[in-house]
Amino acid sequence: MTPKKPITEQDMALVRSMVIHEDNSIIVLNKPAGLSSQGARGGVNALEDLLAVFARSNGKRPHLVHRLDRDTSGVIMAAKTKPAAAFLGKHIAARRVRKSYLAIVAPGAPSPSQGVVDVALRRVEQGREVFMRACESDHPDAQSALSRYRTLSATDEAALAELSPHTGRMHQLRVHMAHLGRPIVGDARYGGALVLGGVPVPRLMLHAWALSFPHPDGGEKRIEAGPPADFLGVASSAQLDISV
């Protein structure tokens, strides 16, 4: 895969600054919001393109084994070899790779404060845009989807929640929280608040906090990345305790 445009020294510095773990089989990065994982529009490079920076002398380079939405920050993993990619792909399919996200939702905490959302989703296309909608499980286009959530901190205005998807549907956590009446703050597509504590919300307040997985070289691995400054700022404006 050839990058959409030449990779600059600034690009190289950026993608190298994202690395939070690297070994012989994998590379794990802390992706900033605003960077597409794959398939970026407008002739710009996505993270998958920027991984060319880590190419070996034979031209082989890491490839992402999962994705994050463009405006979601946090932990994302790439495999450095074909055997590692096959190993991780198998465990992702078997749902042995566990993902934990932090989200700021509003208004207030979900009720109950923790639980499971087992609500099917279906894909809806509107022009060039694609949305997911909650639907009955017997809908002809239904895709099963299950998410777990728990409230970590809450005020009357907003809440900090830990979200854990059991399945991996597009926009799953965003639609499931909207289904609970607590859409993720900054999520204009699914009804999230765009102002919180009197402060404009800069983007979708969803951060991939931790990834736990069987490692291709044996054993289990857990890798975490704390939320970035914009997320912390919104949490502070909403008087939420972010000390998870």
Catalytic positions, written as ranges: 69
CA 242 vs CA 6, 26, 91, 233: distances in Å: 39, 29, 31, 10
Task: List b or e across 19-56, with b for residues whose CB sees 16 or more CB atoms inside 10 angstroms.
Answer: eeeeeebbbbbbbbbebbbeebeeeebbbbbbbbbbee
What is the C-alpha separation between 34 and 61, in angstroms, rounded?
A: 23
Q: Which one, of 161, 150, 153, lies nearest residue 102 by Cα?
A: 161
Bridge partners (DSSP) of residue 26 are: 79
3-class secondary structure, 169: coil
With CA atoms as reference, report the closest residue to 158 among 208, 110, 228.
110
Report the alpha-carbon distance of residue 179 to residue 29 in Å, rounded. Answer: 30
Tokens of 197: 């504590």
Cα 98 from Cα 145, distance rounded (Å): 15
Q: Which of 174, 233, 218, 204 is CA-nearest to residue 74?
A: 204
**DSSP H or E segment with residue 173:** helix 172-179
